Amino acid sequence: MKFKQRILISALGLGLVMSLGTAPVFAKQQAAVEQQIENPLLAEWTGPYGGVPAFDKMDIKDARQAFEIGIAENLADYEKIANNPAPATFENTIVAMESTGEKLGRAFTYFGIWSSNMSSPEVRKLQMELSPKFSEMSSKISQNKKLFARVKKVYQDSLKTPLDPDQQRLVLNTYEGFAMNGADLSPEKQKRYAEIAKELSGLYTQFSNNVLHDEEGYVTFLTQDQLSGLPESFVKAAAKSAADKGKEGMYAVTNTRSSMDPFLTFSDERELRKKVWTNYYSRGDNGDEYDNNELIAKILKLRKERVGLLGHKNYAEWRLQNRMAKNPENAMKLMEAVWPAAIARVKEEVADMQTVADELKHGITIEPWDYRYYAEKVRKKKYDLDSNEVKQYLQLDNLTEAMFYVAGELFNFKFTAIEKGKVPVFHEDVNVWEVTDKTSGAHIGLWYLDPFARQGKRSGAWATSYRSHETYNGKQTVLSSNNSNFIKPAPGEALLVSWDDANTFFHEFGHALHALASNVRYPSLNGGVRDYTEFQSQLLERWLSTDEVINKYLKHSKTGEVIPKSLIEKIKKASTFNQGFATTEYLASALIDMKIHLADPEGLDPDRFERETLAALGMPKELVMRHRTPHFGHVFSGEGYATAYYGYMWADVLTSDAAEAFKEAPGGFYDKAVAAKLVKYLFAPRNAMDPAEAYRKFRGRDASIDALMRDRGFPVPEKK
């Protein structure tokens, strides 16, 4: 396994902006290396399928030592490259760095499982202890003058005598990684840069742990007489969740979106809806020791100071320089083009909901905890569409098979379940499939699925790669994972999900396919440009509603009957329903993310900034940001989406435009010619090709916002 720090650190949410480089090795660490201490977290992966992680042997007690040894060896690897007496070349500098830190990479894979899927007080304590050490390593690497001089020489030579396109891209990315992280700063400024990075790493971990505390600590327990309106499947799952928490005979609404969302949609108990809503949207904002507002203020000040050392006036300007948007102004231009149509649609949606509430003589004015509940009633009234009825046809097992079908048609992939026990897993809920080429039978990789919520697992859904594709040093196959937080059904019951959750399931599988379809030489090129990496996964969502998937896989959980065409017609007619809510709650978060990083952080109160900025934007009072600032982990538990949350919409412009390419093709969404171009230009290259160039090769032109506006049922902007 080749270790690329930018990718793995970001994937673990440790929040470090990693570059490549080296520094002297601590005596204690060097001694550990020389002793060649055997540590299971560092051991080479053995067994079938090109070697697999020994998840069954991982023990948190080995983590501290593993990182001491791994960090030491990683630094030693870079020290050797930096002090190579031979003139700097692409091979002895850039390619040499591709092979660094193999043991450290393996340790990070295991630690990522603990921090994301199996957290505990012990894990969180260790995160707080280790994150500054990771930051110190990063700073010593990125600020190594000798190493940067070699990288700079290779970069300058490549401008005179170009390399192969993917090599040229690798050199550019490596050079920018150094330059953006202070490699050219004076020793005094480098020292301060490193201090800031170290402090930020601790703040990110603390922020994340505070949110996880509030997700675990606020559970709403219901009694039998408080279940009015709730679907049977939810009630059974809530009963099991309560029993697992020692509350036999009660029903638990956990403080995660997968539990909160259906409760707010169906519960007739308005006061309980308010309580569940408040618990969820107050995460990190309860005025106690786990409150994140003070941490956010510190993070913003430190981020601005850090990029100021590099000559940038704000964090957003620094962050977007090598993104598709290029600068904050372009990102804001896109969001501001959509915002007016979104909030105008919210007003229409609220008016419809208020009418329903008045007709039912409920005597209420729509509040945020009412939105989902009355939106569901409007959906039934306008489209005769009951989302709980739709849910009966959305079984997770069938959806998984549907995703395999799509992958087979577009990518020529075949997924074969691996018998339990043949591949180690970190929890009994995890299942594994082998992925092969349908035609040749060639092994491509493994896909792990961890679908259920559990204590210590962060909320939401995500994809992870335990090993990425590469060919420069012998072909390595992919180990890809999808992780969700579905509430585990009662024994013998099918796991039924909402249409939105089904979309998310396809979305995250899109990330897995992006990894499995990778065809790059160098491991670093498996990364991506943040406002582009969501495009492939958002695009895959479109196949959920294709006729082929509907007719083969959307079957009733009890009768086995295919979902009626009349119900599908209702779903399609309602496809733009509630787009005001969906677009506005997302855009509000993206706008706050950008604006809070453009603001002067001195004396900034995050809560007040959020309130005042939303008021100035005309945010409808009947809904709230998708991610309120105090629990906005995308932005404040690391730097992955900081000033980059707009990227989902940037990617959605590409998604809508690319979807129209399939709609226009003779074979529709399964057109072989368009699918071949999709794989060749949009999935296989990963970051080996400039995203804008890759999209033009696929579409023959740049993407237009018009398709996005049509998709959402918003007015298409007039051409000037």
- Strand stretches in 319-442, DSSP E: 413-417, 431-437
**Is residue 61 within 8 Å of 432, Cβ to Cβ?**
no
Domains, the chain, ordered by start? 5-142+144-180 (1.10.1370.40), 218-281 (no CATH), 396-572 (1.10.1370.40)
Sign of CA dihedral 25, 30, 36, 40: negative
Residue closest to 376 by CA, chosen among 569, 597, 581 = 581
**Is residue 549 within 8 Å of 406, Cβ to Cβ?**
yes
**Is residue 477 within 8 Å of 469, Cβ to Cβ?**
yes
User: In whole angstroms, what is the distance from residue 506 CA to residue 543 CA?
Assistant: 8
Sheet holding 478-486, edge to edge: 413-417, 431-437, 443-452, 478-486, 462-467
List the structure tokens of 622: 């009947």
Q: Which residues contact 199 (CB under 8 A, 6 or more apart)?
A: 298, 302
**Is residue 698 within 8 Å of 655, Cβ to Cβ?**
no
pLDDT for res 319: 95
Residue closest to 663 by CA, chosen among 573, 546, 583 = 546
pLDDT for res 15: 36
- 3-class DSSP string for 88-110: CCHHHHHHHHCCCCHHHHHHHHH
User: In whole angstroms, what is the distance from residue 564 CA to residue 549 CA?
Assistant: 13
List the structure tokens of 107: 């340790």
- What is the DSSP code (8-state) at residue 26? P
**Is residue 695 within 8 Å of 682, Cβ to Cβ?**
yes
pLDDT for res 572: 87
Residue 716 sits at φ, ψ, to 5 deg, of -80, 130
- Other beta carbons less than 10 A from residue 250's beta carbon: 17
List the structure tokens of 426: 């970190």
The stretches of 218-327 forming alpha helices (DSSP H) are 232-244, 257-266, 270-281, 293-308, 315-319
**Is residue 196 within 8 Å of 136, Cβ to Cβ?**
no
User: In whole angstroms, what is the distance from residue 198 CA to residue 196 CA?
Assistant: 5
- Other beta carbons less than 10 A from residue 443's beta carbon: 16
- What is the DSSP code (8-state) at residue 225? G
Question: How many helical (H) and strand (E) elements, i.e. helices and strands, does the chain have?
Answer: 29, 7
**Is residue 387 within 8 Å of 498, Cβ to Cβ?**
yes
- pTM to 2 decimals? 0.84
Helix/strand/coil percent split, the chain, to 5: 60, 5, 35
Spell out the long-range contacts of 234-239 with Cβ–Cβ below 8 A and sequence spacing 24 or more. 234/262, 234/263, 234/266, 234/487, 236/489, 236/490, 236/493, 237/487, 237/488, 237/489, 237/490, 238/487, 239/490
> What are 450's strand-pairing partners?
483
Q: Residue 18 corresponds to which amino acid?
A: M
* Token pair 């499947």 in the structure block, residue: 233
pLDDT for res 492: 87
- Other beta carbons less than 10 A from residue 191's beta carbon: 14
pLDDT for res 527: 87
List the structure tokens of 235: 């009630």
- What is the DSSP code (8-state) at residue 55? G
pLDDT for res 720: 60
Task: For the chain, give the number of residues.
Answer: 720
pLDDT for res 295: 98
Q: Which residues contact 283 (CB under 8 A, 6 or more apart)?
A: 211, 214, 215, 218, 255, 628, 630, 631
- What is the DSSP code (8-state) at residue 562? B
pLDDT for res 37: 61
Q: Report how far apart, in Å, the C-alpha atoms of 467 and of each of 55, 145, 446 are.
A: 14, 30, 10
**Is residue 426 within 8 Å of 57, Cβ to Cβ?**
no
> What are 467's strand-pairing partners?
479
Q: Beta strand 443-452 with 462-467: parallel, antiparallel or unpaired? A: unpaired
User: In whole angstroms, what is the distance from residue 596 CA to residue 600 CA?
Assistant: 8
Chain centroid offset of residue 133 CA: 25
* Token pair 């506005």 in the structure block, residue: 584
> What are 463's strand-pairing partners?
482
pLDDT for res 473: 84
Residue 290 sits at φ, ψ, to 5 deg, of -100, 10
**Is residue 375 within 8 Å of 581, Cβ to Cβ?**
yes
User: In whole angstroms, what is the distance from residue 126 CA to residue 111 CA?
Assistant: 10
User: In whole angstroms, what is the distance from residue 583 CA to residue 346 CA?
Assistant: 9
Residue closest to 24 by CA, chosen among 179, 139, 103, 191 = 139
User: In whole angstroms, what is the distance from residue 478 CA to residue 119 CA?
Assistant: 25
Using a 10 angstrom Cβ sphere, with 0-12 exposed, 13-18 middle and 19 or more buried, the burial of residue 489 is: middle
Let me know the angle formed at the C-alpha of 609 by 607 and 611, rounded to the nearest 5 degrees. Answer: 70
Residue 528 sits at φ, ψ, to 5 deg, of -170, 165
The dihedral region occupied by 512, where left means phi > 0, alpha psi between -120 and 50, and beta the remainder, is alpha
**Is residue 395 within 8 Å of 557, Cβ to Cβ?**
yes
User: In whole angstroms, what is the distance from residue 518 CA to residue 541 CA?
Assistant: 19
Residue closest to 632 by CA, chosen among 578, 672, 582, 596 = 596
- Other beta carbons less than 10 A from residue 598's beta carbon: 16
DSSP string, 375-394: HHHHHHHHH---HHHHHTT-
Q: Residue 221 corresponds to which amino acid?
A: F
Q: Residue 356 corresponds to which amino acid?
A: V
User: In whole angstroms, what is the distance from residue 363 CA to residue 365 CA?
Assistant: 7
User: In whole angstroms, what is the distance from residue 700 CA to residue 491 CA?
Assistant: 51
pLDDT for res 594: 98
Q: Residues of the chain whose pLDDT is less than 70?
A: 1-37, 719-720
The stretches of 574-702 forming alpha helices (DSSP H) are 579-598, 606-617, 633-636, 647-664, 672-677, 691-699
Residue closest to 6 by CA, chosen among 522, 381, 401, 391 = 522
